[in-house]
Structure 1
């Protein structure tokens, strides 16, 4: 898993951009309360709430995620309806960027003037509503839930913009699950005790609970999963078009990733989930009863691949919106992931075909949030066997893994037919990792760090933040770089560079949306849009010039690796779908020809991951995984964002309709 927050998890994303999404409430009359914060079941921090005087709540919230993590101190007062009348906070976000925030209903103003200022906005209004801070502590979602329960119709306008409402209210024993809408693309569950205090807010990876709720965590997760699956099944039912007979796409400009050519006036005939004929329009006859899609000259290409995802929530939906029909999950909560992939395949949840890569981590205070932690060769081999027995295609070694155990993992993985990839573990470097048996490396920064062995502990955010300084001192014309490129080529080492992550780190701004989302973020629901306007690393003082040159330098390195014959596969490790589009735009910006970029995003992963027989090109006999683009990505790679239809296994999806279902406005 990357160092960035996983967009696959709504709660984990909030921890980076909102300092989480609010949770636990102080019991009435209590002077202090401490609640636990967990990442995938592992203790990560606390939230302490006090009431030094009636009506005043003070919160200290902090957690640690491998050297990153939020710290926030907040104070507020509420009115009789539970609406904030005064709020102050300061601290730092996930990437340790400092912030201050203030909101106040001006007491002397008869019209109820409200003013606020935070790092992304300053404003004022006389409108009524619930002020949702830009960087709240977890407690604040509990505050919102209780205000909504008091509100007429259980609905409130939000300040600065948007609205929130209660969509569901159910009981599980002594606990009550209130489902909030208007906060995320999907319902957000908040668990309450009988007295109204918040018991827990959890998702696949992140949990905040009080002591009373902790023993019930498995039941809470099971109930949430059942509700989420029902929501996804209904979305899939409404937005999947399964032709009753054959499906014919006619009049397309067909891109061939093998020859890198485009042919106009082409038709593709599909029966069931496979392509049965590809040819000129005049040579392909529509069978009786066939459904015909008139492409009208649109660009038709194989479905896209994203080889670096961490699936959760609506990631699968955004993949289909973006034309991603194949993906690779690079670390997850294993049992829920296996169940989710089965739903993708069955069509009861919208998502791509998924290749599974199972994470194996070492032990220690900076170990990643996974249950699969090993400290011996025997344990490492057992972990490989567990993944192999469940159909995983590869294993991913993570940052705290012992370099001394890489060879044992690689040998067992190769014995079982699995590939080996990962972060280069701390206290070693890329060449040694490959020599020990790794087939692939995630993240381009580890290639650069190969030349700076003094940067040894790469378990923290230093593996990213030291990059700008080192890159400014590295010359790609050095013979040792050319020699290393030749080494990678000769070893058939594959690189999953995740350029979009690195762009966000070095070219992002803490008070703006990530570059990958800027073309679309204004179309997001108001609350979602607002929380995404935060989450980049701040430029250290004195490093402005180095940071400005970091992304251009990394793009030059990417181009040199590609020109040197190193196999590259595009993965986003970010917000699903749209981030993959940006990844491809960056490859084109680096100087890789657009046709080559499209090959990297279609045929190359199919070949590397051993599924070329079924995927990677539009060929008779292969799976009908296709994308119709209302533009020409060979002329402008940004046209890859203009997906008109996605076809996965013969099932047809309308991206515009899916965006609307998730609350996005029209472009």
Structure 2
């Protein structure tokens, strides 16, 4: 009889099993399978593959009558394949205990335990608990508070789906869709979807509803935190940095009317115009706005750019039509963000192709993709890892014919020299420069393009004549390098249970739950490789310095958490031995020159756009002072970084 009951229980659980499809940019990447192995217990098996990376989570949990977890267990690996396990339980006396790779604790306080590495279904679990909670608010464990607001209803194949938005989890409300039975219908963000397979035909409509809610949220934020002077704007008493001469002049004034600078003179020579709004710099360091030439905009990246003093940026591949719309909102002032130049991705065909729908396998299709980008105002094209090396020249020729630059990852099965010879103007990521000297590393479509780096650095001598010859080759071809050192540092010098080095100066000021979600992201060091990995960053810094000294043009890009990662990129350049004044030029004037907008940006001069930042401190003496942005000015509009951080839920500086 017991055996029969067990079989019936298992069959009941199987009958209730549900499989959600995981998609990355519309392409199937994995699945989330939910089942009930026994009454009252939900089990999730969640896994996806993103070019060799991706989460694998096996979890099960039990809830009380209010929808709060009373037990939770999970194991698996995170996106970078670092293993983890997690356990939570509340005993009959009401004592809750938890342990995961970043924390452990206990409390008798009531609350919803939010796992450190949950499957997407847990957002639905939280939404249902919030629907039952008074005022749709719940304390979170280990800390924080979640709040729920309702949104749009959408009819999908005869089923009513409701959009809910949960605040207190991320910087912006997290969307989750519930169906008319209260089950989780989908969790969707800009690039990533977890959705019941039967609802995939409704994905575009669900995305539109989410985007409308997101845009209304951004518009309110922009209205509250953009200050446009009624008349002229005068910055007075500044120490003015000149990226051309690398000099600094004290006691300088800058007069702005509208979006442009009209006069730059010593304080004594410039009278305060009638009705002008005056910003007393009080000796603060005034410099052109920063550039970040490697971003993938989503969510609140634009806000954190302005917090960090980034007034110009380049998006290095995105969902094309939504990104064009986002740039329009940045320019219109209905969403906070910098000025953005666009690079359109072109990828090849295959199972390891990157997350884009612009995938081509012929020269004609490649040229058509270039034409689409040129027709839509893109500044360049970015070739990705699965692209056929045989087609690079065709892309480069058409791009140059249309006035576009060409850059990218060095495609798999070729190397950096050949990529440049085929017509590339620029290379993303410093690791591809090193891999030029290791032709045995052929397939760079997976995470191997990062994980082999430490071993290869240990094997290479940068005094080798081959390296000097290659530096000369890059200089002669005027090849530009976007090193993204900050990403490589995070992978090789980070720790899987800590925040990335770029965020450590600020992460303690993040909202509690957001901070917790940043405590992951490094590659796990293979046993016995600790010494090799410890030398990876010093080796990369030596390489960067030799490239700079050899005359190779460098532009700073973060490819990570917006704003603060760019600050860390500049700190790493200084740490490599590049003089601070030259680092500031690299961050301001150099991108403006390379990307063809020097007429309007890159220096503080009459006639140029009023894109500037005031810094507390002196980054010429200490590059970390670049983190102390007091005011950001973009096109004459003034933004207060401290107030924007507060709006993001951060504590004061």
Please give the range of the TM-score, normalised by the shorter of the 2 chains.
over 0.9
Is 1:369 equivalent to 2:355 in the alignment? Answer: yes
Deviations 1:7-60, CA, capped at 9 Å, x for gaps: xxxxxxxxxxxxxxxxxxxx9994311110000100000011111211011111
Q: Which runs of 5+ in 1 are unaligned?
A: 1-26
For the residues of structure 2 that align with 1:73 and 1:460, how far apart are their CA atoms? 24
Is 1:152 equivalent to 2:134 in the alignment? Answer: yes
Instruction: Please point out which of 625, 629, 642 is paired with 2:615.
Output: 629
1:474 — aligned with what?
Answer: 460
Q: How does 1:77-476 map to 2 (within 5 A)?
A: 77-107=62-92, 110=93, 112-173=94-155, 174-476=160-462
2:542 — aligned with what?
Answer: 556
Q: Contact 1:168–1:180 at 8 Å: present in 2 too? A: no
For the residues of structure 2 that align with 1:261 and 1:377, how far apart are their CA atoms? 49
Instruction: Please point out which of 41, 47, 51 is paired with 1:62.
Output: 47
Q: Tell me whether 77-86 or 159-168 shows the greater mean CA deviation.
A: 159-168
Taking structure 1 as reference, are residues 78 and 374 closer, same or farther at Cα in structure 2, changes over 3 Å only?
same
Q: How does 1:485-564 map to 2 (within 5 A)?
A: 485-564=471-550
Deviation at 1:572, TM superposition (A): 0.2
Q: Contact 1:46–1:62 at 8 Å: present in 2 too? A: yes
For the residues of structure 2 that align with 1:609 and 1:94, how far apart are their CA atoms? 33
For the residues of structure 2 that align with 1:136 and 1:317, how far apart are their CA atoms? 27
For the residues of structure 2 that align with 1:344 and 1:28, how far apart are their CA atoms? 49
Deviation at 1:592, TM superposition (A): 0.4
Higher RCO (CA < 8 A, seq sep 6+): 1
For the residues of structure 1 that align with 2:197 and 2:579, how far apart are their CA atoms? 57
For the residues of structure 1 that align with 2:57 and 2:298, how far apart are their CA atoms? 26
1:20 — aligned with what?
Answer: none
Secondary structure of the corresponding residue to residue 134 of structure 1:
coil
Q: Tell me whether 32-41 or 203-212 shows the greater mean CA deviation.
A: 203-212
Deviations 1:116-145, CA, capped at 9 Å, x for gaps: 110001111111100011111111111101
Secondary structure of the corresponding residue to residue 212 of structure 1:
helix
Deviation at 1:653, TM superposition (A): 0.3
Deviation at 1:167, TM superposition (A): 2.8
Q: Contact 1:199–1:212 at 8 Å: present in 2 too? A: no
Q: Contact 2:345–2:382 at 8 Å: present in 1 too? A: yes
For the residues of structure 2 that align with 1:96 and 1:261, how far apart are their CA atoms? 47
Secondary structure of the corresponding residue to residue 98 of structure 2:
strand
2:26 — aligned with what?
Answer: 41
Q: Contact 1:31–1:52 at 8 Å: present in 2 too? A: no
Deviations 1:326-345, CA, capped at 9 Å, x for gaps: 00000000000000001101
1:3 — aligned with what?
Answer: none
Deviation at 1:172, TM superposition (A): 2.5
Deviation at 1:536, TM superposition (A): 1.0
Deviations 1:202-227, CA, capped at 9 Å, x for gaps: 11101111133222111111111111
For the residues of structure 2 that align with 1:348 and 1:61, how far apart are their CA atoms? 37
Deviation at 1:599, TM superposition (A): 0.1
Deviation at 1:424, TM superposition (A): 0.1
Is 1:594 equivalent to 2:580 in the alignment? Answer: yes
For the residues of structure 2 that align with 1:28 and 1:87, how far apart are their CA atoms? 18
Aligned pair count?
638
Q: Contact 2:89–2:98 at 8 Å: present in 1 too? A: yes
Using the size of structure 2 for normalisation, the TM-score is 0.97
For the residues of structure 2 that align with 1:209 and 1:31, how far apart are their CA atoms? 17
Instruction: Please point out which of 41, 60, 82 is paired with 1:75.
Output: 60
Secondary structure of the corresponding residue to residue 197 of structure 2:
coil
Using the size of structure 1 for normalisation, the TM-score is 0.95
Q: Contact 1:510–1:538 at 8 Å: present in 2 too? A: yes
Q: Which runs of 5+ in 2 are unaligned?
A: 1-11
Q: Contact 1:69–1:95 at 8 Å: present in 2 too? A: yes
For the residues of structure 1 that align with 2:15 and 2:276, how far apart are their CA atoms? 68
Deviating above 6 A after TM superposition, structure 1's stretches of 4 or more consecutive aligned residues are none
For the residues of structure 1 that align with 2:13 and 2:230, how far apart are their CA atoms? 59
